[in-house]
Amino acid sequence: MSSDLRFFEFLKERIGLDVTSVGPALIERAVRQRAAAQQMGTSDEYWQCLQGSRDEQQALIESVIVPETWFFRYPESFATLAKLALKRLAEINGMRALRILSLPCSTGEEPYSIAMALFDAGLAPHQFKVEGLDVSPLSIERAKRALYGKNSFRGQHTDFRERHFSAEDDVYRLSERVREQVRLQVGNLLDPMLLANEPAYDFVFCRNLLIYFDQPTQKQVFEVLKRLTHVDGVLFIGPAEGSLLGRLGMRSIGIPQSFAFKRHREPEPEPLPAFIASPLPESLPVRSVPPSPVRSRPFSTGAASVLGASVEKDSNTDAAALLANIATLANEGKSPEARAACEQYLRSHEPVAQVFYWLGLLSDVAGNALEAQGFYRKALYLQPQHPEALMHLAVLLASQGDAVGARRLQERAARSERAADSERKR
């Protein structure tokens, strides 16, 4: 039942999801679960139910949206925002408040991080306002409650929690001061009239979303983002989306790990893709997310679960410690140290796909697409169905104009996900 293409088309139309970007297995599983919840035995029965119920349409969308985000994800982006905000206030002589937009904002961690970063940089409440939009009403409601568990606080640097949160049993409540700076509402980026009557924003955060769309949808959404971003504004995107923005007429501002882009002042024949890193798809297309839903974040310490047979057989404590250290260093933005840890691992242990995959990500972040491509291919040599390496190499090939090669890798990744899903059912 769940392989019915009508459901794929429905999700593409409503939220822009390109099934090849996540693999059909995830969508099929969501359809099966919703059909069972509605006690529908056939695809036609559930399809009729879906067409006749707005609530069920939203329920299916929610079922393929798995929020996976945390405060101050990509910390260099927020440090860069703070510096640029002070500069922008000077440019406009403080004549108005800065306008910042976060979309999709998921359960609120990103827009609240923006507000905390600006407060910590010394800005006063009247100097900035933040807006957060998401296609999910459930996520917006959670964001408005502003109660967060430990999973929303990751990494070693969580001192902001002491300044801006109060502990309540096993959760943390965000301060009213921060909450008052952020307005949250439901909105769909596929709507060409989204925020049409609002002035442009000085800074826009839209991360790990475009990678889940096909090319026509990417261009459609980019036009909306360009309209929302002030001509002198900055657009913060996900690490994997730099090459796309380069092709669409924007350029990196040149601050490593910030993933920040501005418009070209003059057209250039060959815009350089400054940042072409792996997708961080902790979330689906309507998430910061990236997001990814069944995939771990690129440098996750949990990634050891997909290292392949060579790592599973190696129970050496030193190897496991090195792998965990690589993930920690990379997540903290310490790329040189993370690269050195990868090289140390390869000198002292058997090569594994995940280490080459990490080296590929680090090369992407550094703007070295050719080197990244080589590392991804090494990862796939050791583990031919490594899902993240397949998808991220596909992104690189697509950015270089090799649409056929990119699609071939996407299809391999989709087959790999279907096989993994089938294995999990046994």
Q: Is 269 found in the same domain as 139?
A: yes
Q: Is 77 found in the same domain as 48?
A: no
Residue 266 makes CB contacts below 8 A (sequence gap 6+) with none
The C-alpha angle with vertex 31 and arms to 27 and 32, in degrees rounded to 5, equals: 115
Q: How many domains does the chain have?
A: 3
pLDDT band at 315 (very low <50, low <70, confident <90, very high): very low
pLDDT band at 421 (very low <50, low <70, confident <90, very high): low
pLDDT digits (tens, 9 = 90+) for 326-377: 877 876 667 788 888 898 888 888 888 888 888 888 887 776 777 888 888 8
Q: Average pLDDT in the 219-232 region?
A: 91
Q: Which of 3-7, 44-48, 196-200, 404-408 shows the lowest per-residue confidence on average (mean pLDDT)?
A: 404-408
Q: Average pLDDT in the 283-311 region?
A: 38
Q: Is 96 found in the same domain as 58?
A: no
Q: Is 122 found in the same domain as 263?
A: yes
* CATH number of 268's domain: 3.40.50.150
Q: Is 81 found in the same domain as 25?
A: no
Select from 273, 293, 313 the last residue of a domain. Answer: 293
Contact assessment for residue 40 and residue 46, using Cβ atoms and an 8 Å cutoff? yes
Q: Average pLDDT in the 388-393 region?
A: 81
Q: Is 118 found in the same domain as 250?
A: yes
Q: Average pLDDT in the 143-159 region?
A: 91
Q: Is 313 found in the same domain as 240?
A: no
Q: Is 337 found in the same domain as 230?
A: no
Q: Is 218 found in the same domain as 311?
A: no
Q: What does the pLDDT read at residue 126? A: 96
pLDDT digits (tens, 9 = 90+) for 181-214: 999 999 988 888 899 889 999 999 998 888 778 8
Q: What does the pLDDT read at residue 352? A: 86
Select from 271, 293, 315 the last residue of a domain. Answer: 293
Q: Is 370 found in the same domain as 263?
A: no
Select from 227, 261, 293 the last residue of a domain. Answer: 293
Q: Is 389 found in the same domain as 268?
A: no
- Pairing state between β 260-263 and 250-252: antiparallel
pLDDT band at 153 (very low <50, low <70, confident <90, very high): very high
Q: Which of 32-46, 265-279, 293-307 shows the lowest per-residue confidence on average (mean pLDDT)?
A: 293-307
Q: Which of 40-44, 85-89, 136-140 shows the lowest per-residue confidence on average (mean pLDDT)?
A: 40-44
Identify the residue with better confidence: 381 or 200: 200
Say how many residues make up the chain: 426
Per the structure, the complete domain to which residue 418 belongs is given by 301-425
pLDDT digits (tens, 9 = 90+) for 84-120: 999 999 999 989 999 999 999 999 999 999 999 999 9
* CATH number of 393's domain: 1.25.40.10
Residue 217 makes CB contacts below 8 A (sequence gap 6+) with 12, 16, 18, 190
Q: Is 182 found in the same domain as 227?
A: yes
